[in-house]
Chains A and B, each alone.
Chain A
Amino acid sequence: MTAIARPATTVRGLSPSQTALAQTAYVAARHLRFFLRQPWFVLMALIQPVIWLLLFGQLFKSVTSIPGFAVSASYLDYLVPGVLVMTALFGCGWSGMSIIEDLDRGIVDRLLTTPIHRTAIIAGLNLYELVSLGIQAAIIAGLAHLLGAKFEGGILGYGALTICAMLVGATVAAFSDAMALLLRQRESVIGINTMLKLPLTFLSAAFMPLKLVPDWITTVATYNPVNWAVEAGRAALAANPDWPFILPRIAALLVLALVTTAWATRTFRAYQKAI
């Protein structure tokens, strides 16, 4: 039996938590590689935010002239946070489909019989989603700049906006992963995803200031994390960012992202009970 060595328990020289981080990176690399090998996926991911920016930019152009809009900047400056957060919401919501495909192929089962940290399976997938969201954020910034957006908050402001969008992305990705593990059906994941996206987007200040919408929408928006992200991100882009307004929202979004990720990780238990 000398041929059978005792396998290493952790990555050489790393602590268990560092091992979990390393495993997260391996899982993210796997998904990123898959993404880069699908030219259509790459093209779609790049084009979608561009279309939204151009389309909504034209569609809602005249809202700035509505009395009470009260935004000194152009509608383009107003729109960018909405488009970026919407990109996060729409893109990351499909995260669960990767889980469904891995379930179908037996890859989830294979992973679960290795010593991989459960969190790394979810966190790795979500990290990949956030990397692609980061690329989309850069494209939106570049295009908006070309179209004449001013971004008075500068790089710091745009960075804060990107973080807000990423936290929304991490939350919906984890939610989508959890749904995939609990329901294990494409249709259910697509259905829930589609059902949530539009209300979350439009019951927020993404495209229209809340001053101009009915009171009930304002009330709903107060509890809508998408709205927290849009308003905090928009505030961060202002000339003098109101950090006491922004930071608590980022903190709340961070808590939400961590809680949903922890919940998604726990759904592996439900899955393992069901098989």
Chain B
Amino acid sequence: MNDTKHTWPIEAEGLVKTYRAGKSVIRAIEGIDLAAAPGQVLGLLGPNGAGKSTTVKVLTTLSRPDAGHAIVAGHDAVREPDRVRRAIGVVGQRAAVDLEATGRENLGLQGRLYGLDTRAIRDRSSELLARFSLTDAADRIVKTWSGGMQRKLDVAVGLIHRPQVLFLDEPTTGLDPEARADLWAEIGRLTADGRTVLLTTHYLDEADRLANQVAIIDRGRIVARGTPEALKAELRGDAVVVELQELPTDGHAAAALDAAGLGVATVTVARPSLDDVYFRHTGRTYRPQAQEAA
């Protein structure tokens, strides 16, 4: 634990990052503030291009921010990147596994880079392979594995050194529903041992299911934050969906409906979803499919 430093595993303030593309300047993130308490799963939710990955790159020391500062696992990500690197695990957007190596060899190289000895690597690899149900494939070349298996190995590689803080950047993008559900179960278990997780996703259901804190990011800024429940509760009340057989000529639905003698087909009472939260804070509906195609 980091009690001595009295810092949370993730503390970021005013992070700004711009890129130059020819003559124009792209502002990827414009003042991101984030904090995650120990053992928390913080979901960073937003469409592609919102700034999720840039935020993760800055927090994981991959990219230097233009402004702002970030403390990760008790260390400054800009001034002490090496200390941060020792304490974090990073699982990027693509399964960054070595396709020509076996599962065990992938885990082995990563373990070596964190200074684990041969025995520690062997034991920890076996433990992780068993945990992700990859033991049978462990000594096969990863090229022959399914996408879901490669992704699970990717997560296992990120865990080899028991990181205090784990970053998962869109962990289930591109997986089929079965592999996705499978990985969700694994991610759910990751926090059981008190690890702090930052998860980015553009799937609302994923954030709703896995995160106990959600920050909604839109065009480089955090537009809302809180627990999924609190965010939904802010919308005050349930959404009532009424399907009518005919369109009434004037407003005031429910009471007027009977009086007007309009036949009600169905009435659905729905708890507000994160979709509704997203719509309220960004003024746009959330369509990850459309975003992906863009």
What residues of chain A have their CB less than 8 Å away from a CB belonging to chain B? 1, 3-12, 19, 22-23, 26, 30, 33-34, 37-38, 105-107, 109-116, 272-275
CB contact under 8 A between A1 and B1, given known A11-B115, A113-B85: yes
Chain B residue with the shortest CB-CB distance to A23? B113
Contact of A1 with B109 in the complex, beta carbons under 8 Å: no
Interface of chain B residues 70 through 102 with chain A (CB within 8 A): 82, 85-88, 90, 92-101
Q: Tell yes or no: B60 within 8 A of A by CB.
A: yes
Interface of chain B residues 37 through 54 with chain A (CB within 8 A): 38-39
13 contacts between A and B (CB under 8 A): A1-B164, A7-B161, A8-B114, A9-B86, A34-B98, A105-B97, A107-B98, A110-B90, A114-B113, A115-B114, A272-B62, A272-B63, A275-B62
Contact of B99 with A7 in the complex, beta carbons under 8 Å: no
Contact of A26 with B109 in the complex, beta carbons under 8 Å: yes
Q: Tell yes or no: B193 within 8 A of A by CB.
A: yes
Residues of chain B with a CB closer than 8 A to A22's CB = 112
Q: Tell yes or no: B212 within 8 A of A by CB.
A: no
Residues of chain A with a CB closer than 8 A to B195's CB = 3-4
How many A-B pairs have beta carbons closer than 8 Å: the answer is 107
Known: A34-B98, A106-B93, A275-B63. 18 other contacts (CB 8 A): A4-B193, A4-B195, A6-B87, A7-B116, A9-B86, A10-B115, A11-B115, A26-B109, A26-B113, A30-B101, A30-B105, A34-B100, A37-B141, A110-B157, A113-B61, A114-B110, A114-B113, A275-B57
Once bound together, how far apart are the Cα atoms of A26 and B114, in whole Å?
A: 12
CB contact under 8 A between A26 and B96, given known A4-B193, A109-B62, A113-B62: no
The 10 A-B residue pairs with the shortest CB-CB distance, nearest first, are: A106-B96, A8-B115, A3-B193, A106-B94, A110-B96, A113-B90, A7-B161, A1-B194, A114-B113, A34-B100
Q: Tell yes or no: B162 within 8 A of A by CB.
A: yes
Interface of chain B residues 180 through 222 with chain A (CB within 8 A): 193-195
Q: Tell yes or no: B117 within 8 A of A by CB.
A: yes
Interface of chain B residues 8 through 49 with chain A (CB within 8 A): 19, 38-39
Residues of chain A with a CB closer than 8 A to B61's CB = 112-113
| Residue from B64, B99, B115 in contact with A105 in the complex, judged by beta carbons closer than 8 Å | B99
Residues of chain A with a CB closer than 8 A to B87's CB = 6-7
Residues of chain B with a CB closer than 8 A to A275's CB = 57, 62-63
Chain A residue with the shortest CB-CB distance to B112? A26
CB contact under 8 A between A37 and B117, given known A1-B194, A3-B162, A113-B60: no
Contact of A110 with B100 in the complex, beta carbons under 8 Å: no
Contact of B112 with A23 in the complex, beta carbons under 8 Å: yes
Chain B nearest Cβ from A34, distance in angstroms: 5
Contact of B164 with A4 in the complex, beta carbons under 8 Å: yes
